[in-house]
Structure 1
Amino acid sequence: MATWNSRGLRGSILEDMINRTNEKYLMEELALIQKIPTPITPINIDKETRHITLAYFDQKSTVDYIGAVQGVPVCFDAKECAVDTFTLQNIHPHQVAFMENFEKQDGVAFFLIYYKSRDELYYLPFRDLKRFWDRAQAGGRKSFRIDELDEEYFIKHKADGLVPYLEALQKDLESRE
């Protein structure tokens, strides 16, 4: 069973950038995106600071974020990657199933991947993730390389730390028409 403190703060840099971006999108009335907290059961609580020091995840989480952009339902997950190869072990079968079902309901599902060593962000449409996922399920590579990605979906993050992912979402929507 996975414990909360064993996972550290993975993804916190990217999530901080996305959270600030989502606040800006809300203020500008462009989108309403909510961070979905992962339900946990606290095991140890520091009595002095009242901080949880050990906890177990109650259930499998689906995605990190869900909401609507100009009437379009969206869900996405944020991932960080230290190297140029993204291992599919970072994505779980229940997440793929949720995103696939979300898209069947006319929603848009995607991943935002932050390649830390390059300081580059990538918008991975669910259809592309599904292609890599199916390849792995068929016995192929259990990862994908950065050079396999569509150049059009790289996101230039702003100096203020924002992640302007709505531009990539627009490209994704246009490619579906």
Structure 2
Amino acid sequence: MPSWNSRGLRGSTLEELINLTNEKYRANHLALIQKIPTPIKPINIDKTTRHITLAYFDQKSTVDYIGAVQGIPICFDAKECANDTFPLQNIHEHQIEFMKEFEQQGGVAFILIYYSSKDYFYYLRFKELLTFWERAQQGGRKSFRYEELTPCYEISTNNGVFVHYLEMVNQDLASR
């Protein structure tokens, strides 16, 4: 069972940028997206400060964010990648199943990836993710390379929005 405090601050910068983006979207009445907290089970609590010092994930989480964009349900997970190869072990089978069912219900599911070495944000459509996932399940590569991604899904920063993924949601919907 992974420890709650074992991952340090990995991903916190990405999540903070996404949270700021979501606040901007909400303020402009474009979308209402919420961060889904991961349920934890406290093991040790400092009696003086009443802070949790050790905890474990209580159950499997589905995705990091869920909400609606102009009446369209969306869900997504945020991932960071330090090099050009993204290991599929960073995505879990229960997340794939959740996103698959979410899309079957008419929603839009995706992964936001931040390639930190390139300072590059990417919108990975569920359809694209599923192709990589199925390839791995059939004995192929257990990762995908940056070069395999569709270039038109790079996320730009504009209008004071840090991770402007709504443009990619529109592009994703238009391609269906």
Q: Can you give the 5+ residue segments of structure 2 that lack an aligned partner in the other structure?
A: none
- The number of residues matched between the two structures is 176
Pairs within 5 Å for 1:3-152: 3-152=3-152
The answer as to whether partners of 1:64 and 1:78 remain within 8 angstroms in 2 is: yes
CA contact (8 A) 1:155 1:163 kept: yes
Paired AA for residue 58 in structure 1:
D
Contact 2:68/2:74 (CA < 8 Å) preserved in 1? yes
Aligned-partner Cα distance in 2 for 1:158–1:56: 38
**Displaced runs of 4 or more, over 6 A:** none
Instruction: Work out the CA distance in 1 between the residues paired with 2:81 and 2:161.
Output: 18
CA contact 2:81–2:114 (8 Å) conserved in 1: yes
Once the two structures are TM-superposed, the CA of residue 47 in structure 1 deviates from its matched residue by 2.8
Give the Cα separation in 2 of the matches to 1:163 and 1:143.
24
With normalisation by structure 1, the TM-score equals 0.96
Which amino acid is the alignment partner of residue 93 of structure 1? E
Distance 1:17 1:26 in 2: 14
Q: Aligned-pair distance for 1:10?
A: 1.8
Identity %: 69
Question: More deviation in 60-69 or 48-57?
Answer: 48-57
TM-score (normalizing by structure 2): 0.97
How far does residue 8 in structure 1 lie from its aligned partner after superposition? 1.6
Quickly say closer, same or farther: Cα 1:173–1:119, change in 2 above 3 A: same
Partner Cα distance (2:157, 2:12) in 1: 16
Question: For each residue in 1:122-172, what CA deviation from the matched residue of structure 2 results, as whole angstroms up to 9, or x when unmatched?
Answer: 000000000000000000000000000000000123595711000111100
Q: 8 Å contact 1:121–1:157 — kept in the other structure? A: no
Q: Could you tell me how far apart the structure 2 residues matched to 1:159 and 1:175 are?
A: 24
* Structure 2 CA distance for aligned equivalents of residues 105 and 141 of structure 1: 29
Paired with 1:47 and 1:30, the residues of 2 have a C-alpha distance of: 44
The residue type paired with residue 124 of structure 1 is L
